[in-house]
Amino acid sequence: MKEIMHVTSVRGREILDSRGNPTIEVDLQAGTAFGRASVPSGASTGEREALDLRDGDTSRYLGKGVRRAVDHVNGEIADALRGRELDQRALDTLLVGLDGTSTKSRLGANALLGVSMAAARASAAAAGLPLYRQFALLSGRVPHDGTFTLPVPMMNILNGGAHADSNVDFQEFMVMPVGLPSFSEGLRAGIETFHALRGLLKARGLSTGVGDEGGFAPSLASNREAVELVLEAIHRAGYTPGRDMVIALDVAASEFWDPAVGAYVLAKSGEGRRSSDEMIALYDDWTRQYPIASVEDGLAEGDWPGWSRLTAAIGDRVQLVGDDVFVTNPAILRRGIDERVGNALLVKLNQIGTVSETLDAMAIARRAGYACVMSHRSGETEDSTIADLAVGTGAGQIKTGSASRSDRTAKYNQLLRIEEALGAAASYAGRSALAHLGMV
């Protein structure tokens, strides 16, 4: 009989994230089982994300302190959880009820998520399971044959938009090593491409400084040049674009959608205004001309009619990932599915605020034939929970930055450990990650 554990203590603290902003870390003890987790935060956040509670006290950390959220963990939340059974669904339901708002704005989604993730880690410890197996159990996806799928990394080797002080409007230019035989070989190919890109930038006298997600952040002649540089880097690294590797973009178009003029304003590059249909035409063109297999947030979160037209235009051959538009919110995703918006869900725990609701959103996506892309935030910590979550849920894809900054490589390194531990029981998603597009 499995021993039932009860929460003994919950303790939160203020730590730092990868941008030097405060964030919350939570320790949760249940008998002899212990779990610790920390919470990320975004820069190009969706408007309907659950609330990241900040102190607003400008005398500390420019108002970004999280002492109030920490106090909620150590006060109200700890009091409510102490003595409760260590059961993820029950604890998450309790947290959501305790907060009582639809946006988790009373206690803070950062407070709730720190506790929820720490509970998952403590549960894994209590069961003597690696975290990814605990997530497989929670999501009802324990593989019958014991084989776990390692995700294709989406490696953001060129950063723009809100993550870089350059003149590139589009936020992320990523490589996906879909044609390599294993996760570790795929990762190596991505890293080698990163190094090749560095050489290319250096040779052209362009900056090799990096952005928030560890990719290079040069100023360029145009957004298109970023794609061409990445393409050339793939070649230079000795790989064949389209076969070994495809390109993925996160345009993060909400950031440059101007509702006042009803247009996308490419202000950083000075490329001018584009209507929704002109943006759609651009993606249609680019995805024919280049081996771009995935476009995230190609249109703004408020531009739902545009999203439907984009999906109708190229959704049968290009992965269209909804980040700001769905904010990992089960209810919003359901609406998106009904309105044929996108064909893939970007999964960010802190957009919704608990592990259980994140798993719910993933289950809804899957039932509708949408792919799931596990994701970090631009502000991260050394916490590598999303690596285990990607494997446990069989997400098939993970985007967690480039080949530099330990906040990014922490997740890739954890995937290497999982792959090693699984041995022959590890399979690599590879091209099947894009099977929903009939691309295999």
In the range 280-309, which residues lie near Zn ion by CB under 5 A?
296-297
Nearer to ligand PGA, 177 or 211 (CB): 211
- The active-site residue, picked from 213, 296, 357, 380, is 213
The partner in contact with residue 43, picked from ligand PGA, Zn ion, none with C-beta cut-offs of 5 to 8 angstroms by kind, is ligand PGA
Minimum CB separation of residue 296 from Zn ion in Å reads: 5
3-state secondary structure labels for all residues of 222-274: CHHHHHHHHHHHHHHCCCCECCCEEEEEECCHHHHEECCCCEEEECCCCCEEE
The partner in contact with residue 301, picked from Zn ion, ligand PGA, none with C-beta cut-offs of 5 to 8 angstroms by kind, is none
The partner in contact with residue 45, picked from Zn ion, ligand PGA, none with C-beta cut-offs of 5 to 8 angstroms by kind, is ligand PGA
Nearer to ligand PGA, 255 or 419 (CB): 255
Q: What distance in Å separates the CA atoms of residue 132 and residue 158, rounded to the nearest whole number?
A: 29
Residue ranges that bind ligand PGA, judged by CB under 6 A: 42-45, 250, 252, 323, 375, 377-378
Minimum CB separation of residue 202 from Zn ion in Å reads: 28
Q: With beta carbons less than 8 A apart as the criterion, state whether 255 and 325 touch.
A: no
Minimum CB separation of residue 252 from ligand PGA in Å reads: 5
Minimum CB separation of residue 212 from ligand PGA in Å reads: 7
Q: Taking CB under 5 A as the rule, which mask of x and - marks residues 315-334 in contact with Zn ion?
A: --------x-----------
Q: Taking CB under 5 A as the rule, which mask of x and - marks residues 219-258 in contact with Zn ion?
A: -------------------------------x--------
String of DSSP letters for 18-80: TTS-EEEEEEEEETTEEEEEE--B-SS--TTSPP------TTSGGGT--HHHHHHIIIIIHHH
CB closest to ligand PGA, residue no: 42
CA-wise closest residue to 330 among 38, 110, 48, 89: 48
Nearer to Zn ion, 295 or 389 (CB): 295
Minimum CB separation of residue 227 from Zn ion in Å reads: 17
Minimum CB separation of residue 171 from Zn ion in Å reads: 7
- Put the strands of the sheet holding 272-274 in their side by side order: 257-258, 263-266, 272-274
Whether 348 is a known active-site residue: answer yes
Nearer to ligand PGA, 73 or 252 (CB): 252
String of DSSP letters for 337-367: HHTT--SEEEE-HHHH-SHHHHHHHHHHHHH
Minimum CB separation of residue 42 from ligand PGA in Å reads: 3
Q: How far apart are the first and last CA of the chain?
A: 44
Nearer to ligand PGA, 43 or 363 (CB): 43
Whether 411 is a known active-site residue: answer no
CA-wise closest residue to 311 among 350, 269, 341: 341
- The active-site residue, picked from 348, 357, 380, 419, is 348
- How many CB atoms within 10 Å of residue 74? 17
Q: What distance in Å separates the CA atoms of residue 190 and residue 247, rounded to the nearest whole number?
A: 11
String of DSSP letters for 386-420: HHHHHHHHT-EEEE---SSSHHHHHHHHHHHHHHH
Nearer to ligand PGA, 244 or 357 (CB): 357
Q: What distance in Å separates the CA atoms of residue 198 and residue 310, rounded to the nearest whole number?
A: 33
Nearer to Zn ion, 212 or 250 (CB): 250
The partner in contact with residue 359, picked from Zn ion, ligand PGA, none with C-beta cut-offs of 5 to 8 angstroms by kind, is none
Residue 169 touches Zn ion, criterion: CB under 5 A: no
Q: Phi, psi (5° rounding) for residue 375?
A: -140, 145
Residues in contact with Zn ion by CB under 5 A are 250, 296-297, 323
What are the residue numbers of the active site? 213, 348
